[in-house]
Amino acid sequence: MEHHLSDITSIFVHVLLPLLRLCCFIALGLFVANVIESLNWSDKLALLVRPLLRAGRLSTTAGASFSLAFVSGVSANTLLAEAYDQGRMDRRELFLANLFNAVPRFFLHLPTVFFLTVPMIKIGAVFYVLLTLAASILQTLLVVVGGRLLLAAPQAAATPLPVKRGRPSLKEAVEKGLRRLKKRLGKVLLFMVPIYLLFYLLNTYGFFTRLETFLADHVSFLSWLNPKSFGIIVFMVTTEFSAGVAAASALLAADSLTVQEVVLALLVGNILATPIRAVRHQLPYYSGIYAPGLALQLVLAGQGVRTLCVAVVAWCWYFFA
């Protein structure tokens, strides 16, 4: 009986509550995106990055998504998904716009990373944060170049019609947002819930643990690193980022590694560990916003480009620090 109650409690805590929380965030994101689209606020939100949008031939929707991503990744992605579904954004721009949000994603996680690392590795934390910011900026610049090469130049604006369409009131926009939310929420749950449950089962039966352990056991290709750095990398891959930082703090305190070596180990651990965790955590909620196949492609593309950018920054740090 006690075992049965324990199973029920575990399912409630690890499945039902996170699913409910995820559904609430996605529903809020859908609603906010629909209201913004109804009120034609995309242009105002895009002001923050208008020069980059022009240089990369990206739409104001991509700029609005960028601005929203500082507050909510779900709302930012929902805005892109709505534009793609309505034919206002093609597949190429969707991928580029999703990648374009690297800097806002960085600042969303900055407080946690910064205040966790500073007490432990002090000046090393500053270098690590600045280098990961540089990787995010590099990704943004690559998107601008990619947009310039892959997207068509915007056509000259047509002569405006004599009758100007009135902007809906806030009440009308809210009502429209609620109607579209009801229409789409069922589809969201249809795809998101099974994928979330699949990932929960994979995690419960140790799939991700075995995958992370496999990566940690095959670090011979990192022979160019100080061998004492391997502990940091293994902790980051097999447990959490905080464990890697704690290991780095101990090695710094014992003068076993320099600040440069610790920062490099954290960057390498970031490259190896983050993609697995991103797929595990991002894919379920992406599948609630985009079609499952498209969601997987977006997550893989995002992690691939991000890994490349962090690798470039780590390489520069290794040779020029």
Cα-Cα end-to-end distance for the chain: 60
Query: Is pLDDT at 306 greater than 60 in this prediction?
Result: yes
Tell me the C-alpha to C-alpha distance, in Å, between residue 68 and each of 41, 64, 110. Answer: 11, 6, 16
Helices 73-85 + 60-69 axis angle, to 10: 160
Residue scoring higher pLDDT (2 or 144): 144
Kindly tell me the sign of the dihedral angle through the C-alpha atoms of 318, 280, 278, 117: negative
Greater pLDDT, 19 or 56: 56
Comparing 29 with 130, the larger pLDDT belongs to 130
> Nearest Cα to 61, choosing from 77, 152, 185, 130?
77
For helices 259-287 and 230-238, give the axis angle rounded to 10 degrees. 20
- pLDDT digits over 116-143, tens only? 888 888 899 999 999 999 999 999 999 9
pLDDT for the residue 177: 64
How many CB atoms sit inside 10 A of residue 28's CB? 15
- Give the per-residue pLDDT at 79: 87
Q: 269, 244 in Cβ contact below 8 A?
A: yes
Take residue 145 and report the two structure tokens written for it.
Answer: 């170049």
Residue 311: how many other CB atoms lie within 10 Å: 15
pLDDT of 20: 75
Q: What is the pLDDT of residue 170?
A: 63
Chain segment 171-217, per-residue pLDDT in tens: 666 666 676 666 666 666 666 677 667 767 776 777 766 766 766 66
Q: Give dist(CA 152, CA 77) in Å, integer.
A: 22
State the pLDDT at residue 275: 78
Cα-to-chain-centroid distance, residue 75: 12
| pLDDT tens column, 74-103 | 888 988 998 898 899 999 999 999 999 999
In whole angstroms, give the CA distance from residue 280 to residue 290. Answer: 16
Nearest Cα neighbor of 284 from 23, 72, 70 is 23
Alpha carbons 256 and 270: distance in angstroms, whole number: 21
Confidence of residue 7 (pLDDT cuts 50, 70, 90): low
What H or E segment, with its residue span, contains residue 310? helix 292-320
DSSP H/E element including 59: none
How many of the other CB atoms lie within 10 Å of CB of 35?
20
* Average model confidence (pLDDT) across the chain: 79
Q: How far apart are CA 28 and CA 106, in angstroms?
A: 22
CA dist., res. 190 & res. 242, Å (int): 35
Q: Pick 275 or 51 by higher pLDDT.
A: 51
Paired tokens of 184:
């789409």
